């Protein structure tokens, strides 16, 4: 049997656009014969899937799942090119299965997750590649999150049929049923108000420095003297943090109190401490640059290629 070298894998990958592991598998199956390896990829729908991989997948679904006692939770985002496919029964089942797998997984390491066995159909990556070829659109398992901090109860909220998924971690000795309403209220707040951090202690120092630079430049533009600028900046940063930190935001259901104050009232009612300590917010396609194409041009391109 001919040895499969890294150079051969690279060459096949460049000529077909298929994944590295798929190329290696094809070369092994074809005893190092490049032409047969290309045929292998085509026969298995892998080269076809690779061509679709250049297309932007910015639609899809977010799925959140929880353990029965609320002590662990997971979220997954899987993307497709169109909302039509995102509602496809096979796609929805795939996303649901991945969410359950994420909940059971030892960590939220993406590389390890994609290598997990998906029933008897191969790895998650194998199944994803097969579904791309079958369904006919580029798809991507974009990210997963796993929450299982000791002492926490997890509650979530899904918005717009899976466009947004939120998981909130509450540090409390209360049972999950005692804090479900509170947790859902905070999750809905997170879905609508898009906080970046749970509280001031979790704020990225780089974020604060960036905001200081912006505030300083604004004050310079206003003609404020240097000595005064340094006195004004802390107040401006404090105002920004109230907007980006979940617990300091005005509570949407009652703007007379902050989220932290709302959680405090619930804690007082049930006689057990509650603290918001974790937050996961996934929104489908956020940060993905969507490709806008004229439909008539797209049809013309397809006809030209026939």
pLDDT, tens digit (0-9, with 9 covering 90-100), for 134-171: 888 889 999 999 999 999 999 999 999 999 999 999 99
What Cα–Cα distance (Å) separates residue 303 from each residue in 137, 296, 297, 299, 306? 18, 11, 10, 6, 5
pLDDT at 298 over 60: no
Domains within the chain, CATH numbers bracketed:
6-52 (1.10.8.10), 59-148 (3.30.479.20)
Kindly state the tokens that stand for 117: 């066995």
Q: What is the pLDDT of residue 300?
A: 53
Residue 295's pLDDT band, with cuts at 50, 70 and 90, is: very low
Residue of 12 and 110 predicted with greater confidence: 110
Which distant-in-sequence residues (6+ apart) come within 8 Å of 285 by Cβ? 58, 59, 60, 79
3-state SS, residue 110: helix
Q: Are 214 and 229 spatial neighbours (Cβ–Cβ below 8 Å)?
A: no
Distance CA(115)–CA(125), nearest Å, equals 6
- What is the reported pLDDT for 165? 98
Q: Report residue 51's pLDDT band, with 50, 70 and 90 as the boundaries.
A: low
Residue 86 or 183, more confident: 183
pLDDT tens track for 206-240: 999 999 999 999 899 999 998 899 999 999 999 99
Instruction: Report residue 252 as tokens.
Output: 């949407």
Q: Which residues contact 169 (CB under 8 A, 6 or more apart)?
A: 73, 147, 149, 152, 153, 154, 276, 277, 278, 279
Bridge pairing between strands 152-159 and 139-147: unpaired
**What b/e readout covers 17-46, taking b as 16+ CB neighbours within 10 angstroms?**
bbbeebbbbbbeebeeeeeebbebbeebeb
């Amino acid at each position: 049997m001919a040895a499969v070298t890294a150079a051969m894998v690279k060459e096949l990958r460049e000529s077909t656009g298929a994944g590295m592991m798929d190329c290696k598998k094809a070369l092994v199956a074809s005893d190092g014969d490049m032409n047969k390896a290309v045929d292998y990829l085509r026969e298995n729908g892998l080269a076809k899937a690779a061509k679709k991989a250049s297309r932007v997948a910015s639609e899809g679904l977010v799925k959140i799942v929880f353990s029965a006692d609320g002590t662990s939770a997971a979220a997954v985002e899987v993307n497709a090119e169109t909302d039509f496919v995102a509602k496809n029964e096979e796609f929805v089942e795939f996303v649901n299965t991945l969410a359950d797998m994420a909940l059971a997984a030892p960590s939220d390491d993406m590389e390890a997750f994609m290598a997990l066995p998906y029933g008897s159909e191969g790895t998650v990556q194998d199944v994803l590649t097969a579904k791309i070829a079958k369904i006919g659109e580029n798809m991507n398992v974009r990210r997963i999150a796993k929450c299982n901090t000791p002492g926490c109860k997890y509650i979530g909220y899904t918005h717009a049929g899976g466009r947004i998924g939120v998981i909130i971690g509450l540090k409390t000795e209360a049972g999950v049923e005692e804090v479900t309403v509170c947790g859902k209220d905070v999750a809905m707040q997170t879905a609508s108000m898009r906080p970046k951090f749970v509280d001031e202690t979790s704020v990225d120092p780089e974020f604060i420095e960036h905001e200081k630079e912006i505030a300083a430049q604004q004050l310079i533009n206003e003609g404020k003297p240097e000595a005064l600028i340094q006195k004004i900046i802390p107040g401006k940063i404090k105002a920004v943090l109230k907007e980006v930190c979940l617990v300091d935001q005005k509570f949407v259901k009652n703007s007379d109190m902050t989220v932290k104050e709302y959680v405090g009232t619930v804690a007082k009612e049930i006689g057990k401490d509650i603290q918001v300590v974790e937050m996961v917010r996934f929104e489908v396609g956020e940060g993905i640059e969507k490709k806008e194409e004229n439909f008539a041009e797209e049809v013309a391109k397809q006809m030209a290629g026939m």
